[in-house]
Structure 1
Amino acid sequence: MSYQTGLSGLSAASTDLDVIGNNIANANTVGFKSSTAQFADMYANAVMTAANNQVGIGTRLSTVEQDFSNGTFTKTDRPLDIAINGNGFFQLSNNGALVYSRNGVFHLDKSGVIENAQGLPLMGYSPGPDGKMNTGSVGPIMVSSASLPPTATKTISAAFNLDSQDPVSTNPFNPSDPSSYSYGQPMSVYDSLGGSQSINVYFVKKATGSYDVYGTSGNPPAPVGPNPSGSMGTITFDTSGHLTSPNASALTFNIPNAADNGATTQNLTLNLTGTTQYAGKNGVTQLLPDGNSSGQLTAFSVGEDGTLTGSYSNGATLVLGQVALATFSNPNGLANMGNNLYAQTGDSGAAQVSSPGSTNHGVLLGGQTEDSNVDLTHQLVDLITAQRNYQANSQTIKTQQTVDQALINL
């Protein structure tokens, strides 16, 4: 029996050396998870033998357990280097089948699809027409290089202070006559083609706490519509300098000369909420027209919740997709496929897919990679121990040989 016992010990020590060697070899592999060989004892005729007479016949490999705890994180500043802080695996498409990985080093292929080093597309959610994520199914995440189309300005959110000490205007409004208005402010908006249209807004004090608002557009300036005079309406203030007119948040007008460059006639709303009438200098405190010109993708980033956001040359941002993570009730039940890939099995349980940061799913760290969680110091100590175990088991066989030789020599 000593031969069998010694051989099982040699086999176990050899397996232990293999596992430890694999850990050491992958100490610099992104997303690698270290493993530990677990062994179980063996007994012959264990059921039929009295408990106090059982003699072991060696050991066998029970399981190779992986440690799925986080490794440390390394900052790379590459936008498609993504680390998972917490539970979860990236989902990748392998010829239509889903596989899983902790290695978050990705790049764009020639079509703009995000993929790993083996060319497997990263899976996630895509935005619908309303910009909301379609979480019903996952698909390859794509970064489109197409231009962001222009969006015509619809609303101008502006706030001003109008000097309460200004005199009442007595001259008819004339944009060329500064004495006919209290304050004028130029601004630019975008038309349907992304071109810039110039607008001037004028405030004409008609009585204490009351102003008529006029607008012009184009060069030379022409009154905005639909009123031929360019009048947009009247705003009023109380004795504390606060707006009291209910229409101040929705002064509507249009720019008929936007069509001169092929754009459609623009209908806009001027929101003057926050405008005050205090003693002091006339001036603008807020000027925020919406809309944008066309733009080219200049950069993109991944947020903690997996949202992939593109930044464009016109200053606009757009959500391009969202990385989805998968978790398993028993990660050690996953099958190792090599190349830092895992496959789902019956032992692992079904994948639970959700967005990063949701229940039991970790968050993402963009511009970072997760290092291997191998502790080299610990592994080198284990290597020495496994080597000594191998030597000790070989000594068991050598001793049995000596005993056998003694019997032969009788």
Structure 2
Amino acid sequence: MSFYTSLNGLKNAQTDLNVISHNIANSETTGFKKSHTQFADIVAGGALANPKLIQGIGSRLEAISQNFSQGALQQTGSALDLAISGDGFFNTVSATSGQTFYTRNGAFALDGNGNVQDGSNNILQVFPTDATGAITSTTLSNCTIPATDVAGAQFAGLTVADDGKVTASYDDGTNIVVGCVAVASFLSPNGLRQLGSSNWAATGISGAASYGQPNTGKFGALMSGTLERSNVDIAEELVGLITAQRNFQANAKAIDTASQISQTVINLRT
């Protein structure tokens, strides 16, 4: 039995090492959120067993939980580098597949069609607004910047306010609010499914997204010219890495000890 108990320990230690290694590898990934492993013990005993005689038979992986705490904010100076100070996610939609993504990575840029997108052809979603910036609908739309205004003036620049309003400027001095960045919130963000590239998708565990304007209610404020760095603490991860390594070594030693005892018993009987 000790062989299988220690084997479970080895597998769990390997999983712990994998998760920590993944965190360290993404310590410089914009918008990345670290994960940690949770284990639970296993006992062998039925309903009628004497509770004083129930024996533990190892541990099992219970969950790999994500930590959505705020990462450090880094100033970049680019108007389309956006960060959420507080709770919430940017909402993007793939221009090719139509799939919806949620992300904390606000490194956006304009493409040739005037779409504000993340470099993977996923377009930022906004609330439609009127000329004064008032939200006119809760149905999200692509954040697209017209190349010219109604007078034919050429696009000159873009600003994003902390309340999410995206304003396009033109060379005749005209300013037009083209939308308000929508921030998504979830009842259980730990239930979001990781998709890679700092993107997540909603699941039945996370619940459906609710949307709101930045800097209102439970939705965080928007910061232009800023990116959110990974929330990985390298020192903390290195300590965890050493602990997981020692755990792996201890379980391997337990298997070796059990093997020696078994060999001794075999030798005595022969």
Quickly name the TM-score band, shorter chain normalised.
over 0.9
Q: Are 2:242 and 1:384 equivalent residues in the alignment? A: yes
Aligned pairs for 1:349-388 within 5 A: 349-388=207-246
Question: Which stretch shows the higher mean deviation, 17-26 or 93-102?
Answer: 93-102
Structure 1 residue runs without a partner (length 5+): 150-293
CA 1:8 to 1:46, structure 2 compared with 1: closer, same or farther past 3 Å?
farther
Q: CA deviation at 1:45?
A: 2.5
Could you tell me which of 123, 129, 141 is aligned with 2:125?
Answer: 123
For the 8 Å contact 1:38–1:61, the answer to whether it is kept is yes
- Contact 2:148-2:170 at 8 Å conserved across structures: no
Aligned partner of 2:194 in structure 1 is: 336
Contact 1:148–1:296 (8 Å) recurs in 2: no
TM-score, with length taken from structure 1: 0.63
Tell me the residue number matched to 2:259: 401
Alpha-carbon offset, residue 127 of structure 1:
2.3
User: Counterparts of 2:67 and 2:110 in 1: how far apart (Å)?
Assistant: 30
* Structure 1 residues 108-151: Cα deviation after superposition (integer angstroms, max 9, x where no partner): 111001111211111111224675322320011011111352xx
Q: Which residue does 2:179 correspond to in 1?
A: 321
1:230-266 CA-to-partner distances (Å, cap 9, x unmatched) read xxxxxxxxxxxxxxxxxxxxxxxxxxxxxxxxxxxxx
Distance apart, 1:302 and its partner CA: 0.9
Question: What is the alpha-carbon root mean square deviation over aligned residues?
Answer: 1.5
The structure-2 alpha-carbon separation of the partners of 1:48 and 1:11, relative to structure 1 and needing over 3 Å to count, comes to farther
Aligned residue for 1:386, secondary structure, equals helix
Give the length in aligned residue pairs: 266
* Separation in structure 1 between the aligned mates of residue 58 and residue 69 of structure 2, nearest angstrom: 32
The aligned counterpart of 2:109 is 107
Structure 1 or 2, whichever has the larger Rg, is 1
TM-score by length of 2: 0.94
Q: What SS is found at the alignment partner of 1:409?
A: helix
What secondary structure does 2:32 align onto?
coil
- Residue deviations 1:7-40 (CA, integer Å, cap 9, x gap): 1100110000000000000000000011110111
Match of 1:36 in 2: 36
Q: For residue 340 of structure 1, what is the amino acid of its counterpart?
A: S
Tell me if the contact between 2:133 and 2:165 (Cα under 8 Å) persists in the aligned partners: no
- Aligned equivalent of 1:137, options 113, 123, 139: 139
- Runs (5+) with no aligned partner, structure 2: none
Identity of aligned pairs, percent? 41
Residue 129 to residue 302, structure 1, CA distance change in 2 (3 Å): closer
Residue deviations 1:248-307, cap 9 Å, x none? Answer: xxxxxxxxxxxxxxxxxxxxxxxxxxxxxxxxxxxxxxxxxxxxxx64322111111111
Q: Name the CA distance, whole Å, in 2 between partners of 1:131 and 1:36.
A: 42
- Residue 355 of structure 1 and its aligned partner are, at CA, apart by 1.0
Q: Which residue of 1 aligns with 2:88?
A: 88
Q: CA deviation at 1:312?
A: 2.5
Q: Write the letter of the residue equivalent to 1:358.
A: T
Range that drifts further, 4-13 or 307-316: 307-316
Is the alpha carbon distance of 1:131 and 1:354 closer, same or farther for their aligned partners in structure 2, counting shifts above 3 Å? Answer: closer
**C-alpha separation between the residues in 2 aligned to 1:66 and 1:323?**
25
Q: Is the 8 A contact 2:131 2:176 kept in 1?
A: no
Query: Per the alignment, in what secondary structure is the counterpart of residue 128 of structure 2?
Result: strand
Q: Report the structure, 1 or 2, having the larger strand content.
A: 1
User: Greater helix share, 1 or 2?
Assistant: 2
Secondary structure at the counterpart of residue 121 of structure 1: strand
